[in-house]
Amino acid sequence: MADPFYITTAISYPNGRPHIGHAYEAIAADAIARFHRLSGREVRFQTGTDEHGLKMDQTARAQGRPTRELADEMSGYFKDMCDALNISYDRFIRTTEPAHHAASQAIWRAMEANGDLYLGRYEGWYSVRDEAYYDEKELVAGEAGEKLSPQGTPVEWTVEESWFFRLSKYQDKLLALYDNPDFLRPESRRNEIVNFVRGGLSDLSISRTSFDWGVKVPGSEDHVMYVWLDALTCYISGLGYPDTGGDYARFWPADLQLVGKDIVRFHAVYWPAFLMSAGLAPPSQVFGHGFLLHRGEKMSKSLGNVVDPIALADTFGVDSLRYFLLREVSFGQDGSYSAEAIVTRVNADLANSFGNLAQRILSFIAKNCDGIVPSAGKADPADAALAATVAEATRAEMPRLFADLALSQGIEAWLKAVFACNQYVDTQAPWALRKTDPDRMTAVLATLYQAIGDLAVAILPVIPQSAARLLDTMGIPEADRTFAALDDAGRHARLVASGFKLAPPSPIFPRLDMPAEA
């Protein structure tokens, strides 16, 4: 297969269980990965857990258990979440894997060999929650006048011996990288980062000595690497680095690194600088998506609005949740969710529009046409017009918008084609034609059969399970479930010739009810 496409999510801190924000990132990345697979590209999709650092160590200590034990248990929940949500990752990486340690030490040595590391003493602010160092000038005052990070998290004054990375040396090279508007998207995040880098970069502390939960610094065994240095390295250790052949040669630089807006600095400043220092290529694109809020509010343990994504998927269905998140949130911006919003959206778009279309047409064919796949019949210009609308949406608009990461707009284009089909059903009224003009009825049903099949293929990245179930019901073979197949004019004739018979279908998207406790 040609044209490799490497997509990554951030790797989550497993200091607690996954929440809907983690699920959102995984679902978005999955839809993009599936879209590119459907477009014929060879996709590599990586996600995983970021298990070192002070935050993990402190959480384990507070629970009186070994850090590794906490990491093992919690990492398992993240993997379970991905599996429950149908996330089609090729690699789930854990930073505690020995090969990842070796890779982190290799990038360290490469940076050192380039003369970019020196031993010093760090005196400054650190946020354990963000696992980040901040300059004094970046801090903001909290309600009681206490110092907080720009993310609003507590900071502590930290003094310790540390290795430093000459980040300051990379200012111009980074600014040159941002000249390419595709490197960092959306535009608003690029502007933020350009301003930050133009403001001057301090060298970065990249090792710690006050705790030992991390990757050992080569040659300085009493130091562990700064957790972000090891964490970012996962994107290449997962490809087999320091072996620069094999998967690394095939997939690096990454085509798309998807991260939340809170960690854009690490991915768009530190990460490319580390890579350049080690003589490696920076990723092609970093995309900083927005935050998911609950009824417009930040999720937090104290507000009691942290929702388990698996519970949400159990209540509403995995594909309903996926559809809602991708359709409702304009990708790149913050978005809000609530049980009512999920029920309303899913009922309107999936149950009443697409689901109802498929259900009425397919059950009609099963019942009144012996399940024989309709073809030919007496044509009318309205048929070609509908086919053209569906083709434009599924073969042109959706692929273009998805390729540009305009996921919500892509789904909207798809939904407009669904509406057009429903309108066509209403005006053509195949039920009435059964008695008055069966030949015309056949043409209408054949037009709709193909339209429904094409719409199901195009929406596979968003609702993979339900769309596949619909395609199974319709007898559309795996090989015809690609964007290329949508352009293959012979596929419907092949299905008809195969003698496939449609069995009475069951609804793909039953209407959701508001859960009692929501």
Closer by beta carbon to ligand MSP, 50 or else 383: 50
Q: How many residues bind ligand MSP (CB under 6 A)?
A: 19
How far apart, in whole angstroms, are the C-alpha atoms of residue 7 and residue 374?
A: 40
- Least Å distance, CB 27 to ligand MSP, is 10
Q: Please write down the HEC assignment for all residues of 280-335.
A: CCCCCCEEEECCEEECCECCCCCCCCCCCHHHHHHHHCHHHHHHHHHHHCCECECE
Q: How many CA atoms are closer than 13 Å to the CA of 340, on its beta-carbon side?
A: 2
How far apart, in whole angstroms, are the C-alpha atoms of residue 414 and residue 398?
A: 7
Closer by beta carbon to ligand MSP, 262 or else 392: 262
Residue 259, amino acid? V
Contact at 8 Å (CB) between 347 and 512? yes
Concatenating the DSSP letter of every residue in 191-228 gives HHHHHHHHT----EE-EESS---SPEETTEEEEEE-HH
How far apart, in whole angstroms, are the C-alpha atoms of residue 138 and residue 14?
A: 27
In the window 119-178, what residues touch ligand MSP (CB under 6 A)?
A: none
Partner residues linked to 6 by β-bridges: 44
**Residue 299 found at the interface with ligand MSP (CB under 6 A):** yes
- Least Å distance, CB 237 to ligand MSP, is 11
**Residue 29 found at the interface with ligand MSP (CB under 6 A):** no
- Least Å distance, CB 257 to ligand MSP, is 9
- Least Å distance, CB 79 to ligand MSP, is 14
User: Which residues have a Cβ under 8 Å from the Cβ of 99 and sit 6 or more positions away?
Assistant: 237
How far apart, in whole angstroms, are the C-alpha atoms of residue 388 and residue 386?
A: 5
Fill in the per-residue mask, 33 to 52: x = in contact with ligand MSP (CB under 6 A), - = not in contact: -----------------x--
Which is nearest to 452 in space by CA: 479, 475, 484? 475
Which is nearest to 255 in space by CA: 506, 510, 512, 5? 5
- Least Å distance, CB 455 to ligand MSP, is 29
Q: What angle do CA 297, 302, 308 make, to 5 degrees?
A: 70
Closer by beta carbon to ligand MSP, 110 or else 259: 259
Fill in the per-residue mask, 186 to 225: x = in contact with ligand MSP (CB under 6 A), - = not in contact: ----------------------------------------
Looking at 166-174, 227-235, 420-428, 498-506, which segment touches ligand MSP (CB under 6 A)?
Answer: 227-235
Looking at 17-25, 85-93, 162-170, 370-378, which segment touches ligand MSP (CB under 6 A)?
Answer: 17-25
Closer by beta carbon to ligand MSP, 22 or else 36: 22
Closer by beta carbon to ligand MSP, 21 or else 355: 21
- Least Å distance, CB 23 to ligand MSP, is 9
**Residue 10 found at the interface with ligand MSP (CB under 6 A):** yes
Binding test (CB under 6 A) with ligand MSP, winner from 13, 133, 178, 414: 13
Please tell me what DSSP assigns to residue 495: H
3-state helix, strand, coil in the chain (%, to 5): 50, 15, 30
Binding test (CB under 6 A) with ligand MSP, winner from 215, 292, 318, 448: 292
Token output for 205: 């502390």
In the window 260-289, what residues touch ligand MSP (CB under 6 A)?
A: 260, 262-263
Q: Which residue is nearest to ligand MSP (CB)?
A: 260
Q: Kindly tell me the burial class for residue 355, based on how many C-beta atoms sit within 10 Å of its own C-beta (0-12, 13-18, 19 or more).
A: buried
Closer by beta carbon to ligand MSP, 294 or else 491: 294
Closer by beta carbon to ligand MSP, 236 or else 441: 236
- Least Å distance, CB 261 to ligand MSP, is 7
Binding test (CB under 6 A) with ligand MSP, winner from 5, 6, 24, 170: 24
How far apart, in whole angstroms, are the C-alpha atoms of residue 508 and residue 335?
A: 27
In the window 391-420, what residues touch ligand MSP (CB under 6 A)?
A: none
Closer by beta carbon to ligand MSP, 255 or else 454: 255
Binding test (CB under 6 A) with ligand MSP, winner from 111, 177, 204, 259: 259
Binding test (CB under 6 A) with ligand MSP, winner from 5, 6, 7, 22: 22
**Total residue length of the chain:** 518
**Residue 11 found at the interface with ligand MSP (CB under 6 A):** yes
**Residue 232 found at the interface with ligand MSP (CB under 6 A):** yes
Closer by beta carbon to ligand MSP, 25 or else 112: 25
- Least Å distance, CB 235 to ligand MSP, is 7
- Least Å distance, CB 369 to ligand MSP, is 47
Please tell me what DSSP assigns to residue 393: I
How far apart, in whole angstroms, are the C-alpha atoms of residue 348 and residue 340?
A: 12
- Least Å distance, CB 20 to ligand MSP, is 7
How far apart, in whole angstroms, are the C-alpha atoms of residue 392 and residue 414?
A: 9
User: Which residues have a Cβ under 8 Å from the Cβ of 410 and sit 6 or more positions away?
Assistant: 397, 398, 401, 402
Closer by beta carbon to ligand MSP, 211 or else 291: 291
Which is nearest to 23 in space by CA: 307, 350, 365, 368? 307
Binding test (CB under 6 A) with ligand MSP, winner from 6, 7, 21, 265: 21
- Which residues are at the interface with ligand MSP (CB under 6 A)? 10-13, 21-22, 24-25, 50, 231-232, 234, 259-260, 262-263, 291-292, 299
